[in-house]
Amino acid sequence: MIVQPDPAPADDITTEAVPSLADGDPVAATSGTASSTVAAPSPASPAPADALAATAAGTTTAEAGTGPTEPAPTTQDAPDQQAPHGRCQVCREPLPAPQRRRDGKYKGGRRRLYCPPPRDCKEQAQAQRESRLAEAIGDPLRLVIAVADEAVPAMTDLRETLARAIDGLIAIKEVSSAEVAAAKADAAAAHDAAADAQRKAEQAAEGAGRATAAQHRERQARQDAQQAAEQAREEAIQARQHAADTVAAHEQARTQAERAAALAKRAEESVAAQLQEALARLLSETAARERAQQGLAESRVELAATQATARTAQAAAEADQARAAQADERAAQAERAAASANALSEKAEQTAAALRQQVEVAQRDADQARLDAHALATTVQSLKHDRDAARADADRQRERAVHAELRAQQALAELARRDEVDSSPSGSP
């Protein structure tokens, strides 16, 4: 015996909230029904997923399947004395008594849940189920759109930060080049001073030679020349020492400038590599976001196809039920014909056998429709898993964007620290 679940009325829908990935505050989402507000739950609350599965199960068992049925409820089984045959699931009005055969027994068929035509309670319940199903699938799409809108400003800020880092590296390179040029100019000036001192020493030596040659002429002049030569030698020694000290100081300054230029070049290469990695990650995250949007679009198309298949299966089940009712009516007519005319008993039996075969065919068609409805429920469950995977992918994309921004900030801090370290020794001389 198959127990038919009662679909939840529209008044039982509760209100939930969708947490935003940016700040964690709930974001309300309004539904299409007039009696309540429905929103997608947080990743920790699988209520819409359960509602989607319950809706698919309700559609499978209550609307599409027409397998073995239970007898209609009697007055003793119904607790409501005013509605012995149950109430409508939409308008809550008492349902009419089921149809009976000539022998007084209830006709076969599933339990009635809605008011019969011309009332449209069944169509209203179907519209409510389709609305809940569409909202359960549409909320993840809105969530992905919100995540994409939040990721675009973060990527823009990262691009601006990288541009500022490149400008800082260019400025550091220009300052280092200027310091190296100044050190080279100071070294050239020291070399010129040493050359001048050497020329003065040579001139002093020539003066000493002339003084030695004039020794024959005058001793006083020789003594004066010797004193002048000695003084010139001392001045030459002092000039050579001063030139050597100046050259050593400028050589040290040039070495420090070359070391600062090498550090700046290494920092520039490291930051350039980090920039390339950040750009590659940015491109990969953009491609992943585009793939996620494409997957969501494909899921939407598959959902539309699934809904169309469900409606087709429901129409086929209703047609099978009508054919079964017609077969029952024909069997009753055959029995009446057999009772009224014994001469035509053989022909009536053949007609009854043919009708029983038709009933068996209709039963097999109903079983096939039930299997199709079960496959539809499986497809809806797969779509639910795809939706959860898309939501998890969007969360990963947001975390990657946050990590990329943190790495960019760390790179800027490292550049600032290296700039301070490089500027302290270069300014000490």
The pLDDT of residue 53 is above 70: no
Does 204 reside within a domain?
A: yes
Does 45 reside within a domain?
A: no
In this prediction, residues 85-89 reach a mean pLDDT of: 87
Counted domains in the chain = 1
Does 58 reside within a domain?
A: no
State whether residue 150 is helix, strand or coil: helix
User: What is the tens place of the pLDDT at every residue in 246-256?
Assistant: 778 777 777 87
Mean pLDDT of the chain: 71
Query: The tokens 């490089």 sit on which residue?
Result: 422
For residues 189-204, one letter each, b for 16 or more C-beta atoms within 10 angstroms of the residue's C-beta and e for the rest, the string is ebeeebeebeeebeeb
Query: And the tokens for 333?
Result: 């007519």
Query: And the tokens for 171?
Result: 């400025």
The sign of the CA dihedral 280, 283, 289, 295 is: negative
Q: Say what the pLDDT of residue 344 is.
A: 63
Does 188 reside within a domain?
A: yes
Confidence of residue 389 (pLDDT cuts 50, 70, 90): confident
In order of 62, 63, 136, 206, 380, the CA distances from 125 in angstroms are: 11, 11, 17, 123, 19
243 and 412 Cβ atoms separated by less than 8 Å: no
Does 38 reside within a domain?
A: no
Q: Say what the pLDDT of residue 1 is.
A: 38
Q: What is the DSSP track for 107-121?
A: PSSPPP-SPPTT--H
For residues 226, 232, 233 and 237, what is the CA-based torsion angle, rounded to 10 degrees?
Answer: 160
Does 144 reside within a domain?
A: no
What distance lies between CA 59 and its chain's CA centroid?
32
Question: What residue numbers bound the domain in which 221 lies?
Answer: 176-265
Q: Could you tell me which of 306, 313, 312 has the C-alpha nearest to residue 372?
A: 313
Does 157 reside within a domain?
A: no
In this prediction, residues 394-409 reach a mean pLDDT of: 82
154, with CB counted inside 10 A (0-12, 13-18, 19+), is middle
Does 192 reside within a domain?
A: yes
Q: Say what the pLDDT of residue 45 is.
A: 39
Q: Which of 193-202, 217-226, 338-347, 353-362 has the lowest mean pLDDT?
A: 338-347
